[in-house]
Amino acid sequence: MKKGIGREFVEKTKHKYLELSDQQKGLTQPPLIWPRQQVNPTISLPHPGNLPMSPVDLRNLIVQRASLREYSDKPLTLAELSYLLWCTQGIKLIYGHQVTLRTVPSAGARHALETVLLINRVEDLEPGVYRYLPVEHELEVISTQPDLGGRFATACFGQTMLMHCATAFIWVAVSYRMTWRYGERGYRYLYLDAGHVCQNLYLASETIDSGTCAVGAFDDDGMNALLGLDGSESFVIYLATVGKKPPGS
Ligand SMILES: Cc1cc2nc3c(=O)[nH]c(=O)nc-3n(C[C@H](O)[C@H](O)[C@H](O)COP(=O)(O)O)c2cc1C
């Protein structure tokens, strides 16, 4: 890697270097949500508001939060998965043409992230790869090939928690959705947005006796290839494993 490339990114994406964005030039806005593949089956998710919850003390929750890398064999329920998806990308309001307000902030409400799930152990779901459809609050089946967990673990440099977690949330950045408005500076916002999403996953997991571990160490090309992404227009930006806490933790 070229030494100084990170510093160069910070320098060259300073506000003072911004040129007219495609939005300012009047170019058409790209879709704000990936369209669902009409050929794939979909699965309805239970309403996230129906999951029984004990009252939560936010201060305790923040103290309690810690990365969890080992999980019990207990599966997540579909209702719990639905709740985690809502906490990380759930839509609260749609206005105008596909503009959404969600449970997480996003620069300019661009919401340029899509959620893909690796499912290893969730009740009522076959292990596989699924995509979250936030408008419908449904899952779209992408693949149920065997040993996907192993392939994702390899793409994460052998981090076996990808095989042992109940599920992994894989966030895909769709770059032009952000750069259409913000130009090259928009790349900064993609990473900032992903951080907010993952923190919500950490906190929400704690409320259902589960834990999360963020994963930033992955082979970009390997991960993108597993999901059929070109690595430029859309690319894996971040992921996190989730599973039930082991007994006694
Ligand atoms: C951007 C980012 C990337 C991370 N990548 C990994 C990773 O690839 N593997 C891992 O085991 N933990 C990873 N972590 C978790 C950190 O190691 C963990 O947050 C840190 O050790 C502090 O512990 P805590 O989360 O329990 O407070 C990552 C955390 C962040 C925020």
Confidence of residue 226 (pLDDT cuts 50, 70, 90): very high
Atom 14 of ligand 1: nearest residue by CA position: 214
Q: How many whole angstroms separate alpha carbon 35 and alpha carbon 157?
A: 31
Whole-number percent of the chain with pLDDT over 90: 92
The pLDDT, as a whole number, for residue 38 is 79
- Distance of CA 121 to CAs 3, 103, 144, 186, Å? 41, 25, 13, 35
Cβ–ligand 1 contact at 192 (below 6 Å): no
Tell me, yes or no, whether 38 lies in a domain.
no
Tell me, yes or no, whether 120 lies in a domain.
yes
**Domain count of the fold of the chain:** 1
Confidence of residue 225 (pLDDT cuts 50, 70, 90): very high
What is the position in ligand 1's atom list of the atom closest to the CA of 161? 11
Strands 234-244 and 167-174: antiparallel
Tell me, yes or no, whether 22 lies in a domain.
no
Cβ–ligand 1 contact at 196 (below 6 Å): no
Q: How many whole angstroms separate alpha carbon 200 and alpha carbon 78?
A: 18
Tell me, yes or no, whether 155 lies in a domain.
yes
The pLDDT, as a whole number, for residue 8 is 97
166-209 confidence digits (pLDDT tens): 999 999 999 999 999 999 999 999 999 999 999 999 999 999 99
The pLDDT, as a whole number, for residue 98 is 83
pLDDT at 35 over 90: no
The pLDDT, as a whole number, for residue 37 is 80
Mean pLDDT over the full length of the chain? 96
82-137 confidence digits (pLDDT tens): 999 999 999 999 998 889 999 999 999 999 999 999 999 999 999 999 999 999 99
SS3 content of the chain, % helix, strand, coil (to 5): 35, 25, 40
Length of the chain: 249
Q: Residue 225 is part of a domain; what is its CATH number?
A: 3.40.109.10
The pLDDT, as a whole number, for residue 198 is 98
Cβ–ligand 1 contact at 217 (below 6 Å): yes
Cβ–ligand 1 contact at 24 (below 6 Å): no
| Most ligand 1 atoms within 8 A of CB, residue of 202, 213, 223 to mutate | 213
Residues of the domain holding 159: 65-244
